[in-house]
Structure 1
Amino acid sequence: MSQKQQNNCPKHTTPGAIILILMLMFSAPVFAQENKTFDENDLHINWRLVTNHFDNQDQSQAILSITNQGKEVFPSTGWTIFFSYGRGILPDQTNGPFLVSHLNGDNYQCRTTGRIKDLNPGDSLWLSFVSYGQILNYTAAPNGFYIVWDSQPDKGFSIRNYTALPIRDTTVGFVSPADTYRKNRFIKDIHPEKLPLVFPTAVSESRASGEFLLDADVLIVTDPLFAPEADLLSETFHTIIGKPLKISQDSVMGKTISLKKIVLSEEAYKLDVQPDQIVISASEGAGIFYGIQSLRSAMPLTSGDKKPKQIRIPAMLIDDAPRFVHRGFMLDIARNFQPKAELLKVIDLMAMYKLNRLQLHFSDDEGWRIEIPALPELTEVGGRRGFTTDSHEFLPSSYGAGPEPGQKPASGFYTRNDFIEILKYATARHIMIIPEIESPGHSRAAIKAMDNRYRHFMELGDKTEAERYLLRDLNDQSIHSSAQQWTDNVMCVALPSTYHFLETVIDALRAMYLEAQAPLTTIHLGGDEVPEGTWEKSPLCNQLIAKNQEINSTDDLWYYYFDKMDEMLKQRHLTLSGWEEIAMRKTILNGAKHFIPNPGFADRGFRANVWNNGIGWGSEDLPYRLANAGYQVVLSCVSHLYFDLAYEKSPDEPGLYWGGFNDLNKPFDFIPFDYYKNTTENTDGNPVDSTLFIGRDRLTDYGKSNILGIQGQLWAENIRSTATLEYLLFPKMLALAERAWAPDPSWAGEKNHGKQQSLYQDAWSVFVNTVGRKELPRLSDYPGGAVLYRIPPVGAIIQDGTLIANIQIPGFDIRYTTDGTAPTIKSKMYSKPLTEKGKFTLCAFSKDGRKGRIISLINP
Structure 2
Amino acid sequence: MSVKHLLGAAVLAALSAGAWAAPDAAALGQSLALKVAVDSNQGAAAGAPCADLGADWALCLKGRLILENRGAQAVPAGGWNLYLHSIRRILKLDTPQFAIRHLTGDLYQISPTAAFQGLAPGQKLELPLIDEYWMLQESDVLPRPYVVVDGQAPALLRHDSSDEASYLLPLTGDNWKNPAGELRPLATPQQRYQTFSQRGPQLAAAQVAGRVIPAVKRQQLAGGQLRVEGLSLRLDGVGADGARALAQRAAQLGLKAGGAPVSGKVVGSKLPADIAVPGGYRLRIDAKGAAVEGFDAAGVFYGAQTLLGLTPQNGGLVPAMTVEDAPRYEYRGMMVDLARNFKQPATVRRLIDQMAAYKLNKLHLHLSDDEGWRLQIPGLPELTDVGARRCHDLTESRCLLPQLGSGPANQSGGGHLSREQYIDLVRYAQSRFIEVIPEFDMPAHARAAVVSMEARYRRLMAAGQPQAANEYRLLDPQDQSNTLSVQFYDRHTYLNPCVPGSQRFVSKLVSEVAQMHREAGQPLRTWHFGGDEAKNILLGGGFQDMKGTDPGKGKVDLAKQDKPWGRSPACQAQIAQGQIKSVDELPLKFAQTASRIVAAQDIPTMAAWQDGVHGAAGASDFATANTLVTEWDTLYWGSAQAASDFANKGFKTVLASPDYLYFDFPYELNPREHGYYWASRDTDSYKVFSFAPDNLPQNAEVMPDRQGKPFSVTSSAAPARFAGIQGQAWAEIVRTDAEFEQRVYPRMLALAERAWHKAAWERPYTAGETYQLGVTHLVDKAALNADWQQFAAVLGWREAPKLERAGIAYRMSMPAVQPGNGPYAVTTEWPGAKLQYSTDGRNWQTLQPGQPVQANFWRGVTQDGRRAGRVESLSGQ
Give TM-score scaled by structure 2 length.
Answer: 0.85
Distance in 1 between residues matched to 2:804 and 2:10, nearest whole Å: 51
Structure 2 equivalent of residue 418 of structure 1: 421
Q: How far is the alpha carbon of 1:241 from its aligned partner?
A: 5.3
Q: Which residue of 1 aligns with 2:548?
A: none
Q: Could you tell me which of 398, 421, 429 is aligned with 1:393?
A: 398
Q: 659-668 or 451-460, which moves further after superposition?
A: 659-668
Deviations, residues 60-105 of structure 1 (Å, cap 9, x unaligned): 22322222222222101000000111111125x7441311221110
Structure 2 residue corresponding to 1:761, chosen from 760, 776, 785 = 785
Whole-Å separation in 2 of the counterparts to 1:754 and 1:558: 42
The residue that corresponds to 1:60 in the other structure is 61
Contact 2:836–2:859 (CA under 8 A) maintained in structure 1:
yes
Once residues 287 and 367 of structure 1 are traced to their aligned partners in structure 2, the CA distance between those partners, rounded to angstroms, is 38
Matched, 1:629 2:623: no
Pairwise CA distance, 1:149: 0.7
Q: Note closer, same or farther for the CA distance 1:408–1:44 as it changes in structure 2 (3 Å cut).
A: closer
Q: Tell me if the contact between 2:285 and 2:320 (Cα under 8 Å) persists in the aligned partners.
A: yes
Whole-Å separation in 2 of the counterparts to 1:394 and 1:228: 39
Q: Which of 179, 193, 199 is the aligned partner of 2:191?
A: 179
5 Å matches for 1:844-859?
Answer: 844-849=860-865, 850-857=867-874
Q: Does 1:519 align with 2:523?
A: yes
Secondary structure of residue in 1 paired with 2:348: helix
Q: Secondary structure at the match of 1:231?
A: helix
Q: Is the 8 A contact 1:137 1:167 kept in 2?
A: no
Per-residue CA distance 1:90-132 (angstroms, 9 max, x = gap): 25x7441311221110111111112221222222222121212
Give distance in 1, aligned partners of 2:248 and 2:593: 46
Partner of 2:632: 611
Instruction: Quickly say closer, same or farther: Cα 1:510–1:55, change in 2 above 3 A.
Output: same
Correspondence for 1:503: 507
Q: Distance in 1 between matches of 2:214 and 2:468?
A: 54
- In 2, Cα distance between equivalents of 1:90 and 1:78: 25
Cα displacement string for residues 200-229 of structure 1 (whole angstroms, at most 9, x for unaligned residues): 10011222233334456x643343664443
Cα drift, residue 753 of structure 1: 2.6
Structure 1 residue 856: Cα displacement: 2.2
The Cα of 1:330 is off from its aligned counterpart by: 0.3
Which residue is equivalent to 2:308?
Answer: 296
Match 1:831 to one of 847, 850, 856? 850
Give CA deviations for 1:174-214 in whole Å, capped at 9, x if unaligned: 32333322211233121212214322100112222333344
- Consecutive unaligned residues of structure 1, counting only runs of 5 or more, are 1-22, 247-254, 303-307, 587-595
Give the share of equivalent positions with the same residue, in percent: 29
Report the Cα distance in structure 1 between the residues aligned to 2:629 and 2:281, rounded to whole angstroms: 29
- CA distance in 2 between counterparts of 1:387 and 1:527 reads 29
User: SS of 1:775's equivalent?
Assistant: helix
RMSD (CA atoms): 2.7
Q: Is the 8 A contact 2:633 2:657 kept in 1?
A: yes
Q: Find out whether 1:202 has 2:213 as its counterpart.
A: no
- Matching residue of 1:90: 91
Q: Please, which moves more after superposition, 51-60 or 737-746?
A: 51-60
Aligned to 1:324: 329
Distance (Å, rounded) in 2 between the aligned partners of 1:844 and 1:124: 36
CA 1:240–1:618 in 2, change beyond 3 Å: closer, same or farther? closer
1:655 equivalent to 2:671? Answer: no
Q: How does 1:263-302 map to 2 (within 5 A)?
A: 263=268, 264-302=276-314
Contact 1:43/1:67 (<8 A) preserved:
yes
Residues 208-247 of structure 1: matches in 2 within 5 Å?
A: 208-214=222-228, 219-223=232-236, 226-240=239-253, 243-245=256-258
* 1:645-685, Cα deviation, whole Å (9 max, x unpaired): 11112111111111112111221111112222123445433
Please state if 1:685 is matched with 2:703.
no
Cα 1:724–1:375, aligned 2, differ >3 Å: closer, same or farther? same
The residue aligned with 1:723 is: 738
Q: Kindly tell me: are residues 618 and 497 of structure 1, through their superposed partners in 2, closer, same or farther at Cα, counting changes over 3 Å?
A: same
Question: 1:568 Cα deviation (Å)?
Answer: 1.2
Cα distance change, pair 611–121 in 1 and its aligned pair in 2 (3 A): same
Q: Given that residues 369 and 379 in structure 1 are in contact (C-alpha distance below 8 angstroms), is that contact kept between their aligned partners in structure 2?
A: yes
1:800, CA displacement in angstroms?
A: 7.5
SS at match of 1:185: helix
Q: CA deviation at 1:348?
A: 0.5
Q: What's 1:565 paired with?
A: 594
Partner of 2:833: 812
Are the counterparts in 2 of residues 793 and 854 from structure 1 also a CA contact under 8 Å?
Answer: no
Q: Following TM superposition, by how much is the alpha carbon of 1:143 offset from its aligned partner in structure 2, in angstroms?
A: 2.2
Q: Deviations over 1:125-163 (max 9, x none)?
A: 2212121222111110132210001343xx311111126
The alpha carbon displacement at 1:687 in A equals 2.5
Alignment map for 1:364-513 (pairs within 5 Å): 364-404=369-409, 407-487=410-490, 488-513=492-517
Q: Which runs of 5+ in 2 are unaligned?
A: 1-7, 47-58, 161-165, 178-184, 269-275, 537-562, 770-775
Report the alpha carbon displacement of residue 25 of structure 1 after superposing the two structures with TM. 11
1:771 equivalenced with 2:771 (yes/no): no
State the alpha-carbon separation in 2 of the partners of residues 710 and 103 from structure 1.
Answer: 38
Distance 1:676 1:170, change over 3 A: farther
From 775, 797, 816, the counterpart of 2:818: 797
SS at match of 1:853: coil
**8 A Cα contact 1:138 1:651, kept in partner:** yes
More displaced stretch, 64-73 vs 794-803: 794-803
Aligned match of 2:150: 150
* 2:464 alignment partner, SS class: coil
Q: 1:827 to 1:321 in 2, by over 3 A?
A: closer
User: In 1, are the aligned partners of 2:596 and 2:622 still within 8 Å (CA)?
Assistant: no
Other-structure match for 1:676: 697
Say if 1:585 and 1:598, in contact at 8 Å, map to a contact too: no
Out of 524, 535, 541, which is 1:531 matched to? 535
Tell me the number of residue pairs that the alignment of Structure 1 and Structure 2 aligns.
790
1:42 paired residue among 19, 28, 31: 31
Deviations 1:732-763 (A, max 9, x none): 00110000001343344499937712211211
Alignment counterpart, residue 685 of structure 2, candidates 664, 675, 678: 664
What secondary structure is seen at the aligned counterpart in 2 of 1:90? strand
Q: Deviations over 1:570-599 (max 9, x none)?
A: 11222221100123229xxxxxxxxx9799
* Aligned-partner SS, 1:556: helix
SS of the aligned residue for 1:693 comes to: strand
Structure 1 range deviating more: 421-430 or 759-768: 759-768
Once residues 11 and 625 of structure 2 are traced to their aligned partners in structure 1, the CA distance between those partners, rounded to angstroms, is 68
Provide the C-alpha distance between the structure 1 equivalents of 2:488 and 2:249, rounded to a whole number of angstroms. 47
